[in-house]
Amino acid sequence: MRLYLASQMNGNHRLCIPLQEVSQYAPPQPVSNELLFSEVYHALIHSPALETLLNLEHTYALAVGDVIDRRDRDLVLIEKRSNLIIMIIPRPDTEQHQ
């Protein structure tokens, strides 16, 4: 099936130009980020994969939370160790000179 773009009457004849030819020479219309996002979001919301994606996102959020908790515990442990080392080895400016 071939689509045609009909134009004005030229005398007794109607001019028809194949649509593919017109689109070939027409400049492409820019698509804004907002329009693109809205179309993708709409497709996602109405997709059967939405529940699966939400479950994955929740699982990843829990995993990232665990990693951050471990990092915070490790930072506290490192800070305690460094304070202990400072207490054991006095700094030169705190030594008493005899």
Binning pLDDT at 50, 70 and 90, where does residue 80 land? confident
Can you give the pLDDT at residue 57?
96
pLDDT in tens, 12-69: 556 565 555 555 666 777 888 999 999 999 998 899 999 999 999 999 999 999 999 9
The domain ranges of the chain are 4-90
What integer pLDDT is reported at residue 95 of this predicted model?
Answer: 55
User: Which pTM was predicted?
Assistant: 0.47
Burial 23-46 (b: 16+ CB within 10 A, else e): eeeeeeeeeeeeeeeeeeeeeeee
